[in-house]
């Protein structure tokens, strides 16, 4: 048995009358909706723009940190590149170690490559995901201008305690109602209790290693020219704010580097800082920042006011040089 | 707007009892409400970039084309494709949108963002619909990137949203090969794959090596919307 995932969101067409019976068609719609919630893929990396140029015989690994969804079996990487001064020959791989190597010829016009990464297991853990571009020896250089990554949609879910796919037929009118795993109303309950329809990727910044942002200055400097918009999903009924997690992939030559998230909302500006002391690249521990506006479902565009919630990052160093290769912001609840 | 009753998740201390009937109020208030709320809030962020500060920039800057042929819409860049969420009626979820730009040189102009498959963008950019968003006009020599005002060009004239209706998404549906499970069998999945296609328009020709209007930031996120 498997749980069929509708291609479109399922609407509830039958009302539920308190005091009456809940019809089989209502349960079937609920089962379809819970399958859709889990089967429709999440965007792990909204389009970001590394603008990194890779020379012949060199490679670059673009790293991102997120908490993936356990229902994903494939990640789809959408990467736009262009050859510098002519066609470039590249090898693409995700992950950078152990992934399937794909050869591609990248013209001097922007070329978008869609690379499908088959996962070896389903995992909902916080982890690094990565995409490697290797520019072949003797080739023209290649510029990487845009990267995005999403979880592939699933047309069917497994009937197990990872996918929580519900067999739609077992919810049809005339079928017995019972508390079984992945079937009938018990399956719907389990699927809902374990639902994961997160807005995963919020913002990512990366430039790869060779062109990573570096500073030796003790004066904090903005990493971005503008603060980027952020709105998180609403959880509880009365919620007006929500939280994100963030981490940076960075190192210092000596001393301490500081990366500060600056968050501006209607109530003011808030900051949260991570220290970097390692001399080899590593992710900082994921930090949780609350107080971001969540969607206001009574407003057409979901914003709680005409002011956009936004964030920027500042970097500085003391006693050495801080180098930042990637920063990731994601939701894990 | 929300489709759930309570516009948020409700928690219950009750656990599912195999030997008890599920009363209708519980199913309506907890099961249906929560499922609809999760669906309302399942929209994803699709694009979120701004220019890196010049002191840390790897050399890319924004996205711009040299407007040798001015007074026409020129394709600058596309983001995607993404398999976007569809409501049951075939409409996309709404897309919250924010566009940043500048004019580094003497040309003034504006930016349009078009939601559609990239192959259809050159025609669609000419349309007055709610899946085309146009910014206000930037003056010449306005090189500092900033977030711009704008509106969708259809009857809704939204200042922060765009969407594609079922009448067009029905033509954009495609099937994509995937797997049934990890190392599973091949199977196809129906998707509405769209890109966010950016065009610029300048009213002045600039020198041959100078860009016209620059796209310096773009934010696009799905939202259940109205």
**3-class SS at B24?**
helix
Asked whether the beta carbons of residue A20 and residue B24 sit closer than 8 angstroms, the reply is yes
- Tens of pLDDT, residue by residue over B51-64, are 998 878 766 567 87
Q: Is the pLDDT of residue B127 over 70?
A: yes
Spans of all domains in chain B: 1-41, 43-223
Closest CA relative to residue A138, chosen from A100, A198, A83: A83
In a domain, A76, yes or no: yes
Whether residue B109 contacts residue A32, with contact meaning beta carbons closer than 8 Å, is answered with no
Count of C-beta atoms within a 10 Å radius of residue A40: 26
Q: Answer with the one of A130, A151, A172 that is the final residue of a domain.
A: A151
Judged by CB atoms closer than 8 Å, whether chains meet at A199 and B18 is answered as no
The ipTM assigned to this model is: 0.97
pLDDT band at A21, cuts 50/70/90? confident
**Do A85 and A159 reside in the same domain of the chain?**
no
Same domain, A173 and A248: no
Asked if A46 lies within 8 A of B44 by C-beta distance, the reply is yes
Are A167 and A291 within one domain?
Answer: no
Asked if A37 is an interface residue toward chain B (Cβ–Cβ < 8 A), one would say yes
Instruction: Please name the residues between 63 and 122 in chain B that touch chain A, using a CB distance below 8 Å.
Output: 77-83, 85-88, 90, 94, 96, 98, 100
Q: pLDDT band for position B15 (50/70/90)?
A: low
pLDDT band of residue B209 (cuts 50, 70, 90) is low
**For residue A51, what are its two tokens?**
């603008």
Residue of A300, A309, A311, A324 for testing the chain B interface, max B β-carbons within 10 Å? A300
CA distance A285 to chain B (A): 23
CB contact under 8 A, B80 and A297: no
Question: Does A137 contact B at CB distance below 8 Å?
Answer: no
Is the CB of residue B203 less than 8 Å away from at least one CB of chain A? no
Of the pLDDT bands very low, low, confident and very high (cuts 50, 70, 90), residue B205 is: low
Distance of CA A290 to CAs A95, A227, A245, A268, Å? 31, 17, 9, 13
Q: Is B60 on the interface with A (CB under 8 A)?
A: yes
Element at B47 (helix H, strand E): strand B45-50
Q: Given an 8 Å threshold on Cβ–Cβ distance, is A47 in contact with B184?
A: no
User: What average pLDDT score do residues A208-214 get?
Assistant: 87
Domain interval for residue A164: 2-40+155-193
**What's the half-sphere exposure (Cβ side, CA atoms, 13 Å) at A220?**
14
pLDDT at A154 over 60: yes
Is A273 a residue whose pLDDT tops 60?
yes
User: Pick from A78, A76, A101: which is nearest to A91 by CA?
Assistant: A101
- A277-287: average pLDDT: 98
**Whether B1 contacts chain A with CB within 8 A:** yes
A-B interface: how many C-beta pairs under 8 angstroms? Answer: 276
Q: Read off the pLDDT of residues A82-139 as tens digits, 9 standing for 90 and up.
A: 999 999 999 999 998 889 999 999 998 889 999 999 999 999 999 999 999 999 999 9
Q: Is residue A100 part of a domain?
A: yes
Q: Are B113 and B196 in contact (CB under 8 A)?
A: yes
In-domain check, residue A257: yes
Determine the pLDDT at residue B204.
Answer: 73
Distance CA A135, CA A208 (A): 14
Show residues of chain A in contact with B173, CB under 8 Å: 7
Q: Are B131 and B69 in contact (CB under 8 A)?
A: no
Q: How far apart are CA A278 and CA A215, in angstroms?
A: 15
* Residue A304: inside a domain: yes
Mean pLDDT over A170-191 rounds to 88
Q: Is the pTM of this model over 0.90?
A: yes
Q: What is the mean pLDDT of residues A294-310?
A: 92
What is the overall mean pLDDT for chain B? Answer: 89
- A62 and A147 both lie in a single domain: yes
> Which of A151, A182, A203 corresponds to the end of one domain?
A151
Same domain for A282 and A133: no
Residue bearing the bigger pLDDT, B18 or A259 = A259
Report the C-alpha dihedral over residues B122, B125, B130, B134, rounded to 10 degrees: 140
pLDDT of residue B206: 62
Within a domain: A55: yes
Q: Tell me, what's the pLDDT at A8?
A: 93
DSSP per-residue letters across B113-179 = EEEE-GGGHHHHTT--STTEEEEPPBPSSEEEEEEE-EEESSTT--SSEE---HHHHHHHEEEEEEE
The CA distance from A305 to A309, in Å, is 9
Please tell me the predicted confidence (pLDDT) of residue B17. Answer: 62
Q: Give the nearest chain B residue to A302 (CA atoms).
A: B225
Which pLDDT score is estimated for A80? 96
B44 and A150: CB-CB below 8 Å? yes
* Chain B residue at shortest CA distance from A73: B182
Identify the CATH number of the domain in which residue A268 sits: 2.60.120
Chain A hits for B55, CB-CB cut-off 8 Å, are: 221
- Quick check: A322 contacting B, CB < 8 Å? no
pLDDT for B11 equals: 77
A133 and A30: one domain? no
Whether residue A174 sits in one domain with residue A140:
no
Task: Let me know whether A36 and A168 are in one domain.
Answer: yes
- For residue A21, the chain B residues in CB contact (below 8 A) are 24
Q: Give B9's contacts in chain A (Cβ within 8 Å).
A: 235-237
Q: Confidence band (pLDDT; 50, 70, 90) for B68?
A: low
Question: Does the residue A206 lie in any domain?
Answer: no
Residue of B28, B60, B188 with shortest CB distance to A18: B28
Q: What is the largest CA-CA distance in chain A?
A: 75
Predicted confidence (pLDDT) per residue in A47-98, tens digit: 999 999 999 999 999 999 999 999 999 999 999 999 999 999 999 999 988 8
Q: Which residues of B touch A48 (CB under 8 A)?
A: 48-49
A68: domain CATH number is 2.60.120.260
A174: left (phi over 0), alpha (psi -120 to 50) or beta: left
Are both A35 and A159 inside the same structural domain? Answer: yes
Asked whether residue A142 is assigned to any structural domain, the reply reads yes
Q: Do A199 and B36 touch (CB under 8 A)?
A: no
More confident residue, A262 or B21: A262
**Which of B48, B56, B224 lies closest to A203 in CB terms?**
B48
Q: Is A251:A282 a contact under the CB 8 Å cutoff?
A: yes
Residue B13 has pLDDT above 60, yes or no: no
Same domain assignment for residues A278 and A301: yes
**Which fold would CATH assign to domain B43-223?**
Jelly Rolls (2.60.120)
Mean pLDDT of the B67-89 span:
89
Q: Into how many domains does chain A fold? A: 3
Q: Is B225 an interface residue toward A (CB < 8 Å)?
A: yes
CB of B154 within 8 Å of a chain A CB? The answer is no
Q: In which band, very low, low, confident or very high, does the pLDDT at A170 lie, cut at 50, 70 and 90?
A: very high
Are B182 and A73 a contacting pair at CB < 8 A? yes
pLDDT surpassing 90 at residue B147: yes
Give CA–CA dist A134/A58, Å, rounded.
6
Q: Are both A36 and A47 inside the same structural domain?
A: no
Judging contacts by C-beta atoms under 8 Å, the chain A residues touching residue B164 are none
Give the per-residue pLDDT at A280.
Answer: 97
> Do A326 and A217 reside in the same domain of the chain?
yes
Contact A40 B55 (CB under 8 A): no
Residue A199, in any domain of the structure? no
Higher local confidence (pLDDT), B69 or A161: A161
The chain-wide mean pLDDT, for chain A, equals 94
pLDDT of residue B141: 79
């Amino acid at each position: 048995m498997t749980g069929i995932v509708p291609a479109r969101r399922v609407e509830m067409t039958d009302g539920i009358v308190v005091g009456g019976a809940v019809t089989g068609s209502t349960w079937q719609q609920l089962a379809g909706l819970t399958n859709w919630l889990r089967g429709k893929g999440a965007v792990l990396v909204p389009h970001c723009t590394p603008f990194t140029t890779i020379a012949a015989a060199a490679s670059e690994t673009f790293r991102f940190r997120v908490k993936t969804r356990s229902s994903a079996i494939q990640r789809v990487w959408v990467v736009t590149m262009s050859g510098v001064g002519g066609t470039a020959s590249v090898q693409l791989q995700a992950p950078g170690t152990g992934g399937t190597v794909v050869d591609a010829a990248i013209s001097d016009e922007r070329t978008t490559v869609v690379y499908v990464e088959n996962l070896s297991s389903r995992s909902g853990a916080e982890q690094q995901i990565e995409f490697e571009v290797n520019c072949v020896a003797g080739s023209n250089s290649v510029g990487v201008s845009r990267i995005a990554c999403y979880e592939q949609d699933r047309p069917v879910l497994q009937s197990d305690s990872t996918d929580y796919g519900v067999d739609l037929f077992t919810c049809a009118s005339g079928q017995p109602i019972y508390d079984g795993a992945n079937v009938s109303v018990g399956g719907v309950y389990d699927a809902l209790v374990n639902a994961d329809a997160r807005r995963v990727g919020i913002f990512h910044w990366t430039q790869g290693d060779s062109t990573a942002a570096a500073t030796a200055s003790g004066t904090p400097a903005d990493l971005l020219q503008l603060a980027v918009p952020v709105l998180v999903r609403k959880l509880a009924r009365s919620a007006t704010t929500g939280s994100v997690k963030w981490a940076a992939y960075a190192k210092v030559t000596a001393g301490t580097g500081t990366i500060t998230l600056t968050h501006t909302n209607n109530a003011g500006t808030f900051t949260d800082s991570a220290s970097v002391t390692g001399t080899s690249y590593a992710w900082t521990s994921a930090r949780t920042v609350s107080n971001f506006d969540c969607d206001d479902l009574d407003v057409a565009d979901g914003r709680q006011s005409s002011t956009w919630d936004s964030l920027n990052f500042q970097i500085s160093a003391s006693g050495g040089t801080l180098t930042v290769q990637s920063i990731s912001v994601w939701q894990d609840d | 707007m929300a489709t759930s009753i309570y516009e948020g998740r409700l928690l219950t201390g009750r656990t599912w009892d195999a030997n008890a009937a599920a009363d209708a109020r519980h199913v309506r208030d907890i099961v249906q409400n929560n499922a609809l709320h999760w669906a309302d809030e399942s929209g994803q962020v699709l694009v979120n970039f701004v220019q890196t500060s010049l002191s840390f920039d790897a050399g890319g800057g924004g996205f711009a084309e040299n407007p040798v042929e001015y007074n026409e819409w020129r394709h600058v860049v596309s983001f995607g494709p993404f398999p976007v969420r569809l409501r049951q009626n075939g409409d996309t979820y709404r897309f919250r949108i924010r566009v940043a730009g500048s004019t580094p040189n003497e040309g003034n102009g504006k930016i349009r963002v078009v939601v559609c498959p990239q192959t259809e963008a050159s025609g669609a950019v000419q349309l007055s619909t709610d899946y085309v968003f146009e910014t206000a006009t930037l003056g010449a020599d306005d090189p500092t990137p900033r977030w711009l005002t704008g509106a969708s060009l259809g009857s809704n004239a939204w200042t922060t949203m765009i969407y594609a209706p079922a009448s067009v998404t029905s033509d954009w549906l495609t099937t994509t090969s995937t797997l049934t499970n990890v190392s599973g069998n091949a199977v196809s999945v129906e998707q509405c794959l769209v890109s966010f296609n950016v065009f610029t328009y300048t009213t002045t020709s600039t020198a041959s090596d100078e860009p016209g209007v620059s796209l310096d930031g773009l934010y696009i996120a799905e939202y259940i919307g109205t």
